[in-house]
């Protein structure tokens, strides 16, 4: 079952005025670890997630995006201790893509097993971009949500590319999954170091450990 993957970062005695530099440092690390150098969009949320955004700007993809420092400075002009500041940035991972309709119906001369084999041959691994959300929390936003979620939280989206549980884990698939996991680990370490975090937690929405699920997955493959 696919799960949503998060990284939470905490900083000791963080002053609200220091939050922009921390968020900028986190966003700046994506370019060196499989991500885009520019921010796609920014949103400012007041009070809690149930409120409507008071600020939202879509810069665009690629060259149309905004430099991280510019996007952060523009959004955090509205610096309040009960606001959350969300930035979307591109990050690419290996995923297995199958061309639609390539197998065709089974016939007496072509079994379902043949169709499955042909589908695997036609499928190809591509680096697929996704939008990752990086959120900086004011200390009073959503009744102090930062205590559980972190002063900064990264929402990586579904954890499928790190497990590929629907894919036969042969040597090629295992290599791509391993590269995705390595990219995640390197980015996690890089944002912690660049932003000066003193605590971090990689966690999932359903409470399952990615490391344990990955170990079980590779154990089945071996």
DSSP the chain: ---EEEEEEE-TT--GGGHHHHHHHHHHTGGGTTEEEEEEEEEEEESSTTSPPSEEEE--SGGGSB-HHHHHHHHTTS--TTEEEEEEEEEEEEEEE--TT-S---BTTB-HHHHHHHHHHH-EEEEEEEEEEEEEEPTTTTTTTHHHH-SEEEEEEE-GGGT-TTS---HHHHHHHHHHHHHHHHHHHHHHHHHT-SEEEEEETT---HHHHHHHHHHHH-
Q: Is residue 32 part of a domain?
A: yes
d(CA 77, CA 73): 6
Q: Is residue 120 part of a domain?
A: no
- Give the pTM: 0.86
Residue with more model confidence, 68 or 2: 68
pLDDT level of residue 190 (50, 70, 90 thresholds): very high
Q: Is residue 106 part of a domain?
A: no
Residue with more model confidence, 46 or 100: 46
pLDDT at position 164: 85
* DSSP bridge pairs for 110: 107
- Mean pLDDT for all residues in the chain: 87
Q: Which of 5-19, 34-48, 108-122, 181-195 has the least mean pLDDT?
A: 108-122
Q: Is residue 112 part of a domain?
A: no
Q: Is residue 122 part of a domain?
A: no
pLDDT at position 1: 60
CB atoms within 10 A of CB 1: 9
Q: Is residue 159 part of a domain?
A: yes
Q: Which of 46-50, 114-118, 128-132, 213-217 has the least mean pLDDT?
A: 114-118
Per-residue model confidence as pLDDT tens digits over 32-73 = 999 999 999 999 999 999 999 999 999 999 999 999 999 999
pLDDT at position 114: 41
How many separate domains does the chain show? 1
| pLDDT at 156 exceeding the cut of 50 | yes
pLDDT level of residue 218 (50, 70, 90 thresholds): low
Q: Is residue 119 part of a domain?
A: no
Q: Is residue 118 part of a domain?
A: no
Per-residue model confidence as pLDDT tens digits over 120-129 = 555 799 999 9
* R_g (Cα) of the chain, nearest Å: 20
Domain coverage including residue 54:
4-97+128-221
Segment 71-99 mean pLDDT:
94
């Amino acid at each position: 079952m696919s799960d949503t993957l998060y990284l939470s970062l905490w900083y000791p005695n963080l002053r609200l005025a220091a939050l922009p530099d921390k968020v900028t440092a986190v966003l700046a690390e994506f370019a060196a670890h499989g991500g885009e150098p520019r921010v796609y969009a920014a949103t400012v949320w007041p009070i809690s997630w149930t409120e409507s955004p008071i600020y939202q700007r879509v810069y665009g993809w690629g060259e149309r995006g905004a430099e991280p420092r510019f996007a952060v400075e523009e959004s955090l002009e509205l610096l309040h201790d009960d606001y959350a500041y969300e930035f979307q940035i591109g990050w690419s991972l290996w995923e297995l893509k199958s061309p639609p309709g390539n197998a065709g119906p089974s016939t007496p001369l072509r079994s379902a097993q043949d169709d499955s084999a042909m589908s695997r041959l036609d499928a190809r691994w591509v680096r697929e971009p996704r939008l990752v959300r990086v959120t900086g929390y004011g200390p009073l936003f959503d009744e102090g949500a930062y205590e559980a979620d972190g002063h900064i939280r990264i929402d990586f989206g579904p954890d499928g590319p790190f497990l590929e549980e629907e894919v036969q884990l042969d040597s090629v698939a295992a290599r791509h999954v391993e590269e995705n996991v390595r990219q995640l680990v390197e980015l996690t370490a890089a944002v912690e170091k660049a932003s000066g975090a003193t605590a971090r937690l990689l966690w999932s929405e359903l409470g399952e450990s990615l490391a344990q699920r990955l170990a079980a997955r590779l154990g089945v493959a071996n």
